[in-house]
Structure formats: structure tokens, C-alpha cells
Amino acid sequence: MSDAYVVEVKRSARKVSPAAGRWVREHGTRRRFATKALARQWARVMSPPGRTVWVQDAAPWDGTPVDGYVVGGRRARPRRDPEPGEQESLPVAADGSARD
């Protein structure tokens, strides 16, 4: 790739961000930026309140002519575990042995 940073706006970003969807309809799915930092800044601007759009680097073995993808959704699954440092008690039978 050249010094520019080329991204492809994926469907997940267009679903999350109406602004990203409008941009794709007007300009196509790929966009060239001078730097990766500018691509990330554009993704932040495209993020509507309460939703996230971000730049994910393309894998080294990805054969497409892009450096990264603009994607949307959740970066991580919501936590269902207790907060770090908190423990839950194990069920114990009357004789003191652990129960399933």
C-alpha cells in the first residue's frame, strides 16, 4: 500500500451510522485518508450518540486492496461475570461438601 490509509466501510458501520450509510451512497464503499489517525477520527465523527463506529486493521493475509475496515457495533460483549475481585459462594450441602 502507499502512504495513504484506505478503508472499506462495512455494512455493520452503515447499520449503526446513518451518516456512514449516506457517505457510502454518495461516494462508494472505499475511502482514502492521508493517515490512519484521520481514518479513526472520521469513524468517531460517524459514530452516532450511544453507538460506536471504529477502524479495524485488515489482516496481513487479507487480499483486498484496503488497509482497514470501518465497522460498527459492540467492541466487546457485555459482562455477565461478577466485577473483578468479587466472588460468589459455592453451594454447600449440610455435611459441608460442595453441591452441583
Q: Is residue 1 over pLDDT 50?
A: no
Q: Which residue has the higher pLDDT, 2 or 22?
A: 22
Please list, in sequence order, all residues whose beta carbon lies within 8 angstroms of the beta carbon of residue 69, skipping any fewer than 6 positions away.
7, 8, 9, 10, 55, 56, 58
Domain annotation covers residue 99: no
CA dist 67 and 97 (Å) reads 56
Q: Tens digits of per-residue pLDDT, 47-97?
A: 998 889 999 999 999 999 999 999 998 766 556 665 666 666 667 777 766
Residue 58 burial (C-beta neighbours within 10 Å; 0-12, 13-18, 19+): middle
Give the up-direction half-sphere exposure of residue 58: CA atoms within 13 A in the CB hemisphere.
18
Domain annotation covers residue 90: no
Domain annotation covers residue 97: no
Domain hosting residue 21, numbered range: 5-72
